[in-house]
A = this chain, B = another copy of it.
Amino acid sequence: MKKAKQSYHHGDLRTALVAEALNLLEKQDFEHLSLREVARNVGVSATAVYRHFPSKESLLKALAEHGLAMLAEQQKWAAAKATGAAAFAQTGRAYVRFALANPNLFRLIFIHTPGRLRPDVESPDGSPARLLRGYVAHALGPRASAEQIFVAAMQAWSLVHGLSMLILDEQVEPKAAEAMIDRIISNEGLRLG
């Protein structure tokens, strides 16, 4: 890492801006994240940001990318703690826990990265979408059609995503949330008609 010194040129402003924005996201809603505040905290003029990001939107997009990578990494760690179906369930738990640990970043990801996780299209290796399809395909066995895999993947994803969102939106008591995760994911509930 280059030393910033007290020079005119920052050295690695883009990285610093992303880092500071992520830092601010731990304390405040992404709707209240301002370019000027990020720049101020990094010690640079507000307009310097525009050398690295054409708009605020593009900064947010970069943050979402970063968050997505974090999520994928944590899911991989979680999966490594078990095998087979249990490993799959672990990725689900990791998903919800990531949302709870990084609420603002989690929301940001889904508002600013359209279509990146969809299980019906090609996704980069190691992405959450790729992991999801892999696990579902494995769980359903080799005779499952692509259609079946897609539906099952969407269902599993909907479940953990919905649970995450409802907890974040305080529709579930936070202290009841952790216990809820296991119950919901282990599918104790009823079948809908």
Residues of A within 8 A of B (CB): 31, 84-86, 88-89, 92, 110-111, 114-118, 120, 136, 139-140, 148, 151-152, 154-166, 169-173, 176, 180, 183-193
A190 close to B139 (CB less than 8 A): yes
The answer for the CA separation of A64 and B105 in the assembled complex, in Å, is 23
- In the complex, which residues of chain B have a beta carbon less than 8 angstroms from the beta carbon of A192? 85, 88-89, 92, 156, 159, 185-187
A97 to chain B: closest CB distance in Å? 15
Chain A contact surface mostly: helix
A94 to chain B: closest CB distance in Å? 13
The answer for the CA separation of A171 and B92 in the assembled complex, in Å, is 17
- In the complex, which residues of chain B have a beta carbon less than 8 angstroms from the beta carbon of A166? 154, 157-158, 161
